[in-house]
């Protein structure tokens, strides 16, 4: 009985899978996922935040996820699939901490095959993208839009002269 139950749980279809993203690996929806769903937990070793900041100073570790001033999750183990979630400035999940655990919750409907993303915040951006700025889809779209607008304005000025 208990065995069958465990097997049923294991066979439950996963809502996400690791796949190839534009830069390295990413996490993708394996089914349509509704908004407001607790999707995945960011798992790893809980370490004191003070210690985490020391590690971060020595070598930027993008798997350190700060819960608060006291605890940080070192999510570098490969079993932590949430570490594959890439950054977006227009993300479809948000992180919420609950009693020392970190969960990613969907903020809108995600279609099967869509990449799952989270806004990791400004500090992360500076650390991992440098002066080139963010390369997420939302930023790329905004950049090409403003470039188009610039070209348009430049064209107008030429006509005026
Ligand atoms: Zn961006």
Model pLDDT, residue 80: 96
How far apart are alpha carbons 35 and 30 in whole angstroms?
A: 15
Query: Of the spans 2-16, 98-112, 119-133, which averages the highest pLDDT?
Result: 98-112
Model pLDDT, residue 161: 44
**Closest Cα partner for 94 from 86, 84, 82, 104?**
104
**Within 10 A of 151 (CB to CB), how many other CB atoms are there?**
10
User: pTM here?
Assistant: 0.78
Ligand 1 center to residue 82 CA distance, Å? 19
Q: What is the mean pLDDT of residues 88-97?
A: 94
Ligand 1 center to residue 4 CA distance, Å? 45
**Closest Cα partner for 65 from 46, 40, 92, 39?**
46
CA distances from 40 to 124, 136, 138, 156 (A): 20, 21, 23, 50
DSSP state of 82: G
Where does 2-130 sit in CATH, by number? 2.170.270.10
Q: What is the mean pLDDT of residues 24-53?
A: 95
Are the CB atoms for 26 and 35 separated by under 8 Å?
no
- Indicate the average pLDDT of the chain: 84
* Residues in Cβ contact with 3 at an 8 Å cutoff, skipping those fewer than 6 apart: none
Domain ranges of the chain: 2-130
84-105 CB burial, b ≥16 within 10 A, e <16 = bbbbbeebbbebeeeeeebbbe
41-77 CB burial, b ≥16 within 10 A, e <16 = bbbbebeebeebeeebeeeeeeebbbbeeebbbbbee
Model pLDDT, residue 148: 78
Model pLDDT, residue 120: 86
Model pLDDT, residue 156: 53
How far apart are alpha carbons 50 and 126 in whole angstroms?
A: 21
| Token representation of residue 64 | 């350190």
Ligand 1 center to residue 29 CA distance, Å? 20
The percent of residues in the chain predicted with pLDDT above 70, rounded, is 80
Q: What is the mean pLDDT of residues 68-97?
A: 93
Ligand 1 center to residue 6 CA distance, Å? 41
pLDDT band at residue 134 under the 50/70/90 scheme: confident
């Amino acid at each position: 009985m208990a065995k069958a139950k465990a097997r049923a749980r294991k066979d439950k279809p996963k809502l996400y899978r690791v796949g190839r993203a534009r830069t390295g690996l990413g996490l993708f929806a394996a089914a349509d996922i509704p908004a407001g769903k607790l999707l995945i937990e960011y798992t790893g070793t809980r370490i004191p935040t003070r210690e985490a900041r020391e590690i971060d100073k020595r070598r930027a570790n993008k798997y350190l996820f700060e819960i608060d001033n006291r605890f940080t999750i070192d999510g570098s183990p490969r079993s932590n699939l949430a570490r594959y979630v890439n950054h977006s400035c227009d993300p479809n999940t948000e992180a919420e901490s609950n009693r020392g655990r970190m969960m990613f919750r969907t903020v809108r409907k995600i279609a099967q095959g869509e990449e799952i993303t989270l806004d990791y915040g400004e500090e992360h951006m500076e650390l991992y993208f440098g002066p080139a700025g963010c390369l997420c889809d939302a930023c790329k779209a905004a950049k090409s839009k403003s470039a188009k607008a610039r070209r348009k304005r430049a064209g107008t000025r030429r006509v005026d002269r």
